[in-house]
């Protein structure tokens, strides 16, 4: 088993979180959230991968010979991408409103919710 | 009759209703939209109630699409999950009735989002599949972020909605990572098949890491310290009826998820004593911090939000016993709390509609003319402290009995007294003008002066705003005085912690064994402890109103300022705390299992 894709997945998740922590711009924050989520895509696809296996597409009358990669994790990844698109769009919309109403997108200068 | 069509129907009703309302909104007047949304919510309430009756003291299992549980998605309705789904539907109906006269604009966004939110919560409570749980978690989340940022022209609202979205999404991705690891190890996604696959295998480090990751997302939703920061910000800025839903059922659903996933998936692989110790620790810290921060607020919605955090900690302590009784006690407490806290949020919303302000200092004495609302506020504050015969008091009593240790009982009494006292202090100041308005203010706190107006300054309080408050308070009393509720939940608690029975029901559809759980009801000590915490709350509120803390106040000044400063409203800080929380959780859950 090749560990490399798993390490990449874990790294993307952590570096995305770190990016949110250190972010100085909310658009950058939203992109970092997407980066963190990309880690889950890599991990999911890596879980179902088999070396040399075909794509899990079964047409009528033409069964794919030999092993295929796990279709379940691919379905999960697609679902995950849909969720990501929704959340990213919503967060970017909120950033536009924050920029309009606060006049800044620097999280260090947003200080109206404290205590 | 085979009742397996019922659970998917209850999830589908609000989804279909949301689509209909969205389609109607283009062409019809506001009234039609209001009625359609309310009718949909009421249908969901009816569906949930029928399901609760059908479930009885057993489980209803649905194999979606007819797939076997090893491959397909399974829905399982048990008494506790169904009760939570029904609670979500009732609170949504109350919120929709309340919004009837609440929002100026004639748009249908709120209605559609509330119904989608409801669908997410019902699905979350009824699913028996880990990935499905994640999907409903996200549906619930996306609707909730949008509802939080609903007042899109208000600077604080978009800020709070953004922080909520980022923190919850990252939590969800941690959960998804854990789900992927579990799938890699077992090839299963259903809760019961996962539990079966892990039974007997023992917990290696990968499984334990997956557990930490899955629980992280759920603990973020449940606002357990140190994952709690988003909750106060979101509650401070969300419309008040939405807050009633967040506090009453959304955050408690996170706790439900924590215990559900632990019991069904990891129950046999991870020793109960380790999970118990960890969850009790987290619960106690959360309860304590929530109570202190609750007392230190002047923004009324933030105050109620921290009170929710404190109560979530108490529920977690009850559930962490991992016994049927602890689960039942927490559920009774949770249902009573949903009614009481929902009523308090709606009453604060009334203040916001009439006076355009939710600041305890700024509103001092201005709520004197609010008629029946001011008495309801005081009553709800006392109920929050656990006044018998409210459901909060009964749930607290049962939980205290289940917690057994005296110091945990002490925490239940003190924390409920502190949150009730804080709410009562606000009620006495705002509605009765007692004491002098305090003058000092910590610069690191949020005042409620800038809160955007909701509603249109009604000269008289409209009935559509009072009726939901009364309904919620009557409901909270009913939970405490109707024995059937506690009995049913005692049965539900026993089923909830029975991993083998759950697995059996999912794979073979076997009926639950009928060994009635011991009934739980008011005991003399339960009533006495309820009265004690209410009396403490009244004392605390009177002392606070008249500002007699002297040297104690000066002593607490510095730690309080530090705490306020830690709740910085900075999304990066919140995520840093989240990562720290994952590290602590790993230490608590993984280290004991290492050789």
DSSP assignment string, B347-399: HHHHHHHHHS--BTTTTTTTTTT-THHHHHHHHHHHHHTT-TTSHHHHHHHHH
- Classify residue B167 as exposed, middle or buried by CB count within 10 Å of its CB (0-12, 13-18, 19+): buried
- According to the model, what pLDDT value does residue B159 have? 93
Sign of CA dihedral B440, B446, B449, B455: negative
Which residues of A fall within a CB distance of 8 Å from B67? none
- According to the model, what pLDDT value does residue B425 have? 94
Instruction: Tell if the CB–CB gap between A33 and B169 is shorter than 8 Å.
Output: yes
Q: How far, in whole angstroms, is CA B371 from its chain's centroid? A: 29
Q: CB A89: neighbour CB atoms within 10 A?
A: 12
- According to the model, what pLDDT value does residue B31 have? 84
Q: CB B474: neighbour CB atoms within 10 A?
A: 12
- Classify residue B532 as exposed, middle or buried by CB count within 10 Å of its CB (0-12, 13-18, 19+): middle
Give the C-alpha separation, B13 to B119, whole Å: 8
- Classify residue A112 as exposed, middle or buried by CB count within 10 Å of its CB (0-12, 13-18, 19+): middle
Give how far A91 is from chain B: nearest CA, Å.
6
What DSSP string runs through B511-570?
PPP--PPPP----HHHHHHHHHHHHHHHHHHHHHHTT--HHHHHHHHHHHHHHHHHS---
Tell me if residue B19 falls in helix, strand or coil: helix
Dihedral, B38, B41, B46, B47 alpha carbons, nearest 10: 150
Give how far B159 is from chain A: nearest CA, Å.
6
- According to the model, what pLDDT value does residue B26 have? 81
- According to the model, what pLDDT value does residue B456 have? 59
- Out of B160, B165, B579, the one facing A113 most closely (by C-beta) is B160
Find where tokens 């290696």 sit: B204
- The angle subtended at Cα B101 by Cα B96 and Cα B104, nearest 5°, is 105
Instruction: Tell if the CB–CB gap between B170 and A107 is shorter than 8 Å.
Output: no
- Mutate which of A84, A94, A99, A108 to disrupt the B interface (most B C-beta within 10 Å)? A94
Find where tokens 């092993």 sit: A67
> Is residue A8's pLDDT more than 70?
yes
Q: A44-59 burial, b if ≥16 CB within 10 A, otherwise e?
A: bbbbbeeeeeeeeeee
Which residues of B fall within a CB distance of 8 Å from A40? 173, 176-177, 180
Q: Is residue A2 part of a domain?
A: no
- Classify residue A16 as exposed, middle or buried by CB count within 10 Å of its CB (0-12, 13-18, 19+): buried
CB B78 within 8 A of CB B55: yes
> Structure tokens of B370?
């609010």
- Mutate which of B133, B166, B187, B237 to disrupt the A interface (most A C-beta within 10 Å)? B166
Mean pLDDT of A71-89: 91
Nearest CA in chain A to B582: A14
CB B354 within 8 A of CB B370: yes
Tell me if residue B419 falls in helix, strand or coil: helix
> Is residue A92's pLDDT more than 80?
yes
- According to the model, what pLDDT value does residue A1 have? 61
pTM of the model: 0.95
Chain A touched by B360 (CB under 8 Å): no
Query: Domain span at residue A41?
Result: 24-50+70-103
Q: Is residue A92 part of a domain?
A: yes
Nearest CA in chain A to B441: A115
- Out of B131, B141, B572, the one facing A20 most closely (by C-beta) is B572
CB B357 within 8 A of CB B448: yes
The conformation of residue A65, written as its DSSP 8-state character, comes to: P
Give the C-alpha separation, B71 to B507, whole Å: 11
Residues of chain B with pLDDT under 50: none
Q: B171-209 burial, b if ≥16 CB within 10 A, otherwise e?
A: bbbbbbbbbbbbbbbbebbbbbbbbbbbbeeebeeebbb
- According to the model, what pLDDT value does residue B514 have? 61
What DSSP string runs through B32-59?
HHHHHHHHHHHHHHHHHHHHHHHHTTS-
Give the C-alpha separation, B271 to B46, whole Å: 40
Phi, psi (rounded to 5 degrees) for B541: -65, -45
Instruction: Tell if the CB–CB gap between A21 and B564 is shorter than 8 Å.
Output: no
- Out of B138, B233, B579, the one facing A17 most closely (by C-beta) is B579
Chain B touched by A13 (CB under 8 Å): yes
- According to the model, what pLDDT value does residue B453 have? 62
Element (H, E) at A19: helix A4-22
Instruction: Tell if the CB–CB gap between B154 and A33 is shorter than 8 Å.
Output: no
Mean pLDDT of A46-70: 80
Q: Is residue A8 part of a domain?
A: no
Q: Write the Ramachandran bin of B103: left for phi over 0, alpha for psi from -120 to 50, otherwise beta.
A: beta
Chain B touched by A102 (CB under 8 Å): yes
Helix boundaries (H) for B222-323: 229-237, 240-245, 251-261, 272-295, 300-319
Number of domains within chain A:
1
Chain B touched by A38 (CB under 8 Å): no
- Write out pLDDT tens, residues A9-29: 999 999 999 999 999 999 999
Q: B309 or A2: which carries more pLDDT confidence?
A: B309
> Structure tokens of B474?
């009557």
Q: CB B71: neighbour CB atoms within 10 A?
A: 13
Find where tokens 């008495």 sit: B375
Q: Is residue A39 part of a domain?
A: yes
């Amino acid at each position: 088993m090749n560990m490399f894709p798993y390490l990449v997945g874990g790294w993307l998740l952590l570096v995305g979180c770190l990016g949110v922590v250190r972010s100085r711009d909310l658009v950058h924050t939203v992109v970092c959230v997407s980066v963190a989520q990309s880690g889950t895509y890599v991990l999911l696809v890596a879980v179902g991968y088999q070396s040399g296996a075909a794509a899990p597409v079964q047409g009528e009358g033409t069964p794919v010979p030999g092993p295929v990669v796990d279709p379940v994790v691919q379905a999960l990844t697609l679902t995950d991408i849909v969720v990501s698109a929704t959340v990213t769009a919503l967060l970017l919309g909120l950033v536009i409103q924050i920029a309009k109403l606060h006049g800044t997108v620097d999280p260090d200068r947003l200080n109206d919710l404290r205590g | 009759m085979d009742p397996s069509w019922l659970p998917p129907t209850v999830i589908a009703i609000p989804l279909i209703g949301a689509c209909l309302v969205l389609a109607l909104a283009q062409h019809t007047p506001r009234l039609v939209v209001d009625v359609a949304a309310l009718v949909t919510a009421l249908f969901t309430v009816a569906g949930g109630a029928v399901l609760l009756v059908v479930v009885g003291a057993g489980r209803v299992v649905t194999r979606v699409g007819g797939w076997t549980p090893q491959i397909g998605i399974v829905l399982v309705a048990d008494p506790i999950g169904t009760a939570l789904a029904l609670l979500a539907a009732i609170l949504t109906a109350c919120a929709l009735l309340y919004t009837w006269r609440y929002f100026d604009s004639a748009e249908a966004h709120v209605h559609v989002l509330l119904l989608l939110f409801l669908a997410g919560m019902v699905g979350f409570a009824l699913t028996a599949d880990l990935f499905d749980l994640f999907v409903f978690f996200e549906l619930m989340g996306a609707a909730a972020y949008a509802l939080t940022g609903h007042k899109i022209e208000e600077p604080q609202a978009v800020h709070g909605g953004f922080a909520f979205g980022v923190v919850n999404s990252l939590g969800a991705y941690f959960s998804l990572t854990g789900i992927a690891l579990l799938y890699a190890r077992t090839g299963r996604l259903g809760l019961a098949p996962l539990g079966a696959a892990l039974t007997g295998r023992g917990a290696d480090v990968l499984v334990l890491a997956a557990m930490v990751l899955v629980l992280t997302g759920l603990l973020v939703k449940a606002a357990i310290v140190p994952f709690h920061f988003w909750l106060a910000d979101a509650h401070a800025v969300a419309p008040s009826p939405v807050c009633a839903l967040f506090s009453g059922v959304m955050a408690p659903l996170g706790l439900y998820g924590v215990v559900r996933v632990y019991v069904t998936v990891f129950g046999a692989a991870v020793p109960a004593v380790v999970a118990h110790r960890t969850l009790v620790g987290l619960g106690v810290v959360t309860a304590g911090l929530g109570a202190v921060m609750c007392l230190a607020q002047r923004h009324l919605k933030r105050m109620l939000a921290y009170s929710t955090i404190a109560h979530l900690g108490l529920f977690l302590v009850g559930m962490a016993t991992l016994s049927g009784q602890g689960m039942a006690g927490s559920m009774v407490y949770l249902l009573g709390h949903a009614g009481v806290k929902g009523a308090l949020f709606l009453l604060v919303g009334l203040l916001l509609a009439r006076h355009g302000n939710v600041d305890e200092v700024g509103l001092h004495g201005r709520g004197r003319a609010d008629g029946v609302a001011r008495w309801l506020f005081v009553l709800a504050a006392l109920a929050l402290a656990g006044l018998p015969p409210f459901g909060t008091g009964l749930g607290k009593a049962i939980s205290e009995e289940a917690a057994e240790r005296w110091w945990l009982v002490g925490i239940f009494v003190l924390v409920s007294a502190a949150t009730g006292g804080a709410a009562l202090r606000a009620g006495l100041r705002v509605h009765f003008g007692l004491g002098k308005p305090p003058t000092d203010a910590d610069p690191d706190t949020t005042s409620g002066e800038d809160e955007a107006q909701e509603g249109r300054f009604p000269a008289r309080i409209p009935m559509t705003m009072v009726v939901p408050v009364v309904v919620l308070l009557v409901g909270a009393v009913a939970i405490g005085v109707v024995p059937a509720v506690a009995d049913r939940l005692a049965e539900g608690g026993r089923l909830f912690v029975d991993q083998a029975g759950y697995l059996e029901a999912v794979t073979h559809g076997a009926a639950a064994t009928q060994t009635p759980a011991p009934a739980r009801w008011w005991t003399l000590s339960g009533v006495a402890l309820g009265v004690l915490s209410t009396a403490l709350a009244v004392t605390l509120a009177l002392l606070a109103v008249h500002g007699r803390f002297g040297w104690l106040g000066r002593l607490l000044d510095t730690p309080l300022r530090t705490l306020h400063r830690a709740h910085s409203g900075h999304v990066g800080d919140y995520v840093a705390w989240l990562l720290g929380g994952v590290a602590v959780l790993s230490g608590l859950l993984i280290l004991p299992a290492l050789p």
